[in-house]
Amino acid sequence: MKLVSYNVNGIRAAIKKDFIGWLKSADPDVIGLQEVKSSVQQIDVSLFEDLGYEVYWHDAVKKGYSGVATLTKIKPLAIHYGMNMPIYDDEGRVLRLDFDGFSFVNTYFPSGTTGDVRQAFKYRFLDDLYGFSQDLRENHPCLIWSGDYNICHKPIDIHDPVSNKNSSGFLPEERAWMDKFTASGFEDSYRVKHPDLTDQYTWWSYRANARSNNKGWRIDYHMTTKNLNKRIRSTSILANVTHSDHCPILIEID
């Protein structure tokens, strides 16, 4: 089974860049999209349905902002929108699909780059999501928690850890949260398969030719509960896919 996570930075813009052609070629069984920036009513859903996907959409109340969507060729057993916390659910940040044998949690973590208010919001989200994840595992022990985390976990995950040590997304408090999250029973599935591979990133600034120079950040993850380790066949970063300032990430499981 092939599962993809992709921050498309606007699904309508991505579609204009032949996202549908790429999706047809890549042919994942499930794909979680973040930052779709649209409601489902603004999309021609038949573009996805014609490829065999069921479409589930959790958009933000604010138009043109945030939002997640999950497309699946495998019928889910259940669909759950949000965290039952309106402060986050109004921004369309979490969408869970339960399948036979695991649940796929598609999440768009807040960014703190616009200032102190949103950084504080991000910290609050991290605390609440941690509690939510621990409660969820009691009844759903096999989880693939995928999405744009907006955090680089280790120095290996960012092109310049020294100059970015005070940048949102690589702050000590954010990285400590990632330590806590992984210590609680989640694995960074990419590092399970590629523990020492360097210069592997999933987001590049649009400024200063960052992508062409591969000056990026790895902030998109498929975090998996440890009980899924033996089922992970492969993980990869699809850095040559360019509909967005992010690129897709792939996990294949048995």
Say how far apart CA 170 and CA 161 lie, in whole Å.
8
Does 148 participate in catalysis according to the annotation? yes
Query: Strand pairing partners for 241?
Result: none
| Average pLDDT for 52-57 | 98
Task: For strands 232-237 and 249-253, give the pairing.
Answer: antiparallel
Give phi and psi for 203, each to the nearest 5: -145, 140
**Tens of pLDDT, residues 130-160:** 999 999 999 999 999 999 999 999 999 999 9
Residue 75 banded pLDDT, cuts 50, 70, 90? very high
Q: What per-residue confidence (pLDDT) applies to 109?
A: 98
CB 136 within 8 A of CB 143: yes
How many other C-beta atoms lie within 10 A of the C-beta of residue 246?
25
In percent, the amount of the chain with pLDDT more than 90 equals: 100
Q: Please, what is the average pLDDT of the chain?
A: 98
Q: Residue ranges of the alpha helices (H) in 148-217? A: 172-183, 189-193
Start-to-end CA distance of the chain, whole Å, equals 6
Kindly list the domain boundaries of the chain, sorted by start residue.
2-253
Which of helix, strand or coil describes residue 16?
helix
* Look-up of token digits 């813009």: 13
| Average pLDDT for 35-63 | 97
Say how far apart CA 164 and CA 155 lie, in whole Å.
10
Among residues 29, 98, 148, 157, which one is catalytic? 148
| Average pLDDT for 77-99 | 98
Q: What per-residue confidence (pLDDT) applies to 159?
A: 98
Residue 12 banded pLDDT, cuts 50, 70, 90? very high
Residue 81 banded pLDDT, cuts 50, 70, 90? very high
Nearest to 53 by CA among 37, 38, 69: 69
Q: What per-residue confidence (pLDDT) applies to 30?
A: 99
Task: For strands 203-204 and 216-217, give the pairing.
Answer: antiparallel
Say how far apart CA 1 and CA 190 lie, in whole Å.
16
Tokens encoding 77: 């057993």
How far apart, in Å, are the Cα atoms of 26 and each of 19, 31, 84, 147, 242? 10, 10, 33, 18, 14
Say how far apart CA 237 and CA 145 lie, in whole Å.
16
Tokens encoding 67: 């939002």
Instruction: Look up the CATH number of domain 2-253.
Output: 3.60.10.10
**Tens of pLDDT, residues 209-233:** 999 999 999 999 999 999 999 999 9
Say how far apart CA 221 and CA 241 lie, in whole Å.
16
Tokens encoding 220: 């998109």
CB 40 within 8 A of CB 55: yes
Q: What per-residue confidence (pLDDT) applies to 122?
A: 98
| Average pLDDT for 33-60 | 98
